Amino acid sequence: MIVLPPTIRFALRANDINRRAAQRREEPEPDPPPVVKFFNPLGAQTWLATELDEGGDICFGLADLGFGTPELGSWSLSELSSIRLPFGLGLEIDTQFESDVPLSEWATWARRSGSILQAAQHLCNAPPGPF
């Protein structure tokens, strides 16, 4: 079972609330950095989440299932929690993950490179500035 720490849950909910408020005001939607990274400890599957719905189960962010085509979209935390890997493992939260790079930039680099992991290498080594 994936259990979100309260600070992460709060940040994800705040981003969802801010996006909905911008939509209501017909303003550009915010482009926050990912708040949390979920990963498969035995494979390349990676998810970067920026939002969590009010029901507490549906996340929005960038998903990379390891096929070379990372996509923006939604997924269920309960479904991620139900994934069982060999050796009794499950998906995990990367407790060391931090980013100040907006999700749109993550998505651009992940699509260019074919994976979130490759994008992370670029974003960690790249000087600040445009693509």
Q: Read off the pLDDT band of 46 (50, 70, 90).
A: very high
**Position 127 confidence tier, pLDDT thresholds 50, 70, 90:** low
pLDDT of residue 131: 45
pLDDT given for residue 92 in this prediction: 96
Share of the chain above pLDDT 70, in %: 95
Residue 31 has pLDDT above 60, yes or no: yes
What pLDDT score does 125 carry? 72
What per-residue confidence (pLDDT) applies to 128? Answer: 55
Q: pLDDT by residue (tens digit) across 68-98? A: 999 999 999 999 999 999 999 999 999 999 9
48 strand-pairing partners: 37, 62
What is the value of pTM for the model shown? 0.93
**39-72: burial string, b at 16+ Cβ within 10 Å, e else:** bbeeebbbbbbbbbbeeeebbbbbbbeeeeebeb
Name the token pair of 87: 């050796």
Across the chain, what does the average pLDDT equal?
94
State residue 1's pLDDT score: 74
What average pLDDT score do residues 21-47 get?
97
How many residues does the structure list for the chain?
A: 131
Distance of CA 28 to the CA centre of its chain: 20
